[in-house]
């Protein structure tokens, strides 16, 4: 039987290393995402229970939803030996669409790390998996994330009022979309090295 293609391979950029997330990353991610500011505009709070995070990461190592319809892809982003945060994508296979997200610690903010890691992931999703459209949901109060996705070429396509409620307030969300073909045409070819996984 042929080996299954690697849908969540290691990726790299000039400054960063993106490692496929596994259970063993739990201790380093508890430390990297300990600052509550990382969770200001998203539900939840910083992870504090290493064993609970290890179990969650182990569950996600399947890389697929139980019904097989979606891929669950997660990367831990490193600069040297320092873990900065994560980038992630939920790929809807039938629609060839990926919902993308990221969380970085404040020490990584303002240095272009998140956009560099996102660009690497988007490139792989399109070139390696054939994803044709990217979507991001952002809290309307998160101006920094809006600037980040707009630099990548995303455009606002919807506004969802009352999308969620957390931390004592209602969260309205902007929906941003980006055609993978438009992204590919407007982006310089990055120095990524991965075999096309196919679907």
**Is residue 163 a contact partner of residue 173, using CB atoms and an 8 Å limit?**
yes
Instruction: Write the CB contacts of 42 (distance below 8 Å, at least 6 apart in sequence).
Output: 103, 139, 166
Architecture of domain 11-186 in CATH? 3-Layer(aba) Sandwich (3.40)
Percent residues over pLDDT 90 in the chain: 80
Can you give the pTM of this predicted structure? 0.90
Percent residues over pLDDT 70 in the chain: 91
Tell me the average pLDDT of the chain: 90
Q: Tell how strand 82-92 and strand 97-104 pair up.
A: antiparallel
Confidence of residue 188 (pLDDT cuts 50, 70, 90): low
Where does the chain have alpha helices with state H? 26-32, 50-60, 113-129, 143-151, 180-186
Q: Where are the domains of the chain?
A: 11-186
Please write the tens of the pLDDT for every residue from 116-139.
999 999 999 999 999 999 999 999
pLDDT at 74 over 80: yes
pLDDT at 23 over 90: yes
pLDDT at 199 over 70: no
């Amino acid at each position: 039987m042929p080996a299954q293609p690697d849908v969540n391979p290691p990726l790299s950029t000039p400054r960063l290393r993106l490692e496929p997330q596994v259970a063993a990353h739990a201790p380093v991610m508890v430390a990297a995402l300990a600052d509550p500011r990382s969770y200001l505009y998203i539900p939840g709070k910083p992870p504090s229970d290493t064993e609970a995070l290890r179990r969650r990461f182990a569950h996600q190592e399947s890389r697929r939803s139980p019904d097989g319809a979606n891929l669950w892809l997660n990367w831990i982003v490193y600069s040297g030996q320092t873990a900065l945060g994560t980038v992630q994508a939920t790929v809807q296979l039938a629609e060839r669409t990926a919902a993308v997200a990221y969380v970085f610690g404040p020490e990584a903010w303002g240095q272009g790390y998140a956009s560099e890691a996102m660009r690497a992931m988007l490139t792989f999703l399109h070139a390696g998996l054939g994803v044709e459209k990217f979507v991001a949901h952002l809290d309307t109060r998160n101006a920094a994330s809006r600037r980040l996705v707009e630099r990548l070429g995303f455009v606002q396509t919807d506004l969802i009022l009352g999308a969620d409620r957390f931390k004592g307030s209602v969260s309205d969300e902007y929906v941003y979309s980006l055609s993978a073909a438009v992204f590919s045409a407007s982006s310089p070819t990055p120095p990524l090295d991965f075999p096309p996984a196919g679907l």
